[in-house]
Structure 1
Amino acid sequence: MDERARHTLGTVAGLAALVPLCTLTEAAARALRTGNAAFAPALDGLGYLAAVAVLVTLLTAWPAAALACGVPLAATGTLFALDLDAAMGLAGTLPGAETGEPPGTLAGVTGLYALLGVLLVLSPLKRALPRPGRSARGSAR
Structure 2
Amino acid sequence: MTRENRHLVGAAAGVAALVPVYYLTEAAARALRTSNAAFGPAPAALAYLAAVAVIVTLLTAWPAAALGCGIPLAAAGAVFALDLNAALGVAGSLPWAREGGLPWSQPNGVPWAELSEPPGTMAGMTGLYTIIGALLVLSALLPGRLRSVLGR
- The interval holding the TM-score normalised by the smaller chain is 0.7 to 0.9
Bigger relative contact order, structure 1 or 2 (CA pairs below 8 A, ≥6 apart): 2
Alignment of 1:8 with 2:18, yes or no, is: no
1:129 Cα offset (Å): 8.3
2:124 and 2:55 map into 1 onto residues whose CA distance is: 18
Which residue of 2 is the match for residue 113 of structure 1? 129
| 1:1-141 equivalent positions in 2, closer than 5 A | 1-98=1-98, 99-127=115-143
1:124 Cα offset (Å): 1.6
Aligned residues: 130
1:96 Cα offset (Å): 2.0
Residue identity (%): 66
> Please, which moves more after superposition, 37-46 or 85-94?
85-94
Q: Give unmatched runs, 5+ long, in structure 1.
A: 131-141
Q: TM-score, normalised by structure 1?
A: 0.87
1:115 and 1:25 map into 2 onto residues whose CA distance is: 11
1:128 Cα offset (Å): 5.7
Tell me the alpha carbon deviations over residues 15-55 of structure 1, each in whole angstroms, 9 at most, x when there is no partner: 11011111110110111111001000001101111111111
1:12 and 1:64 map into 2 onto residues whose CA distance is: 9
2:94 and 2:63 map into 1 onto residues whose CA distance is: 28
1:127 and 1:86 map into 2 onto residues whose CA distance is: 36
2:68 and 2:95 map into 1 onto residues whose CA distance is: 22
2:94 and 2:140 map into 1 onto residues whose CA distance is: 30
2:145 and 2:41 map into 1 onto residues whose CA distance is: 40
Give the AA of the match of 1:7. H
1:121 Cα offset (Å): 0.7
Structure of higher CA gyration radius? 1
Tell me the alpha carbon deviations over residues 82-113 of structure 1, each in whole angstroms, 9 at most, x when there is no partner: 11111111112222224321111011001010
2:6 and 2:37 map into 1 onto residues whose CA distance is: 45
1:40 and 1:12 map into 2 onto residues whose CA distance is: 39
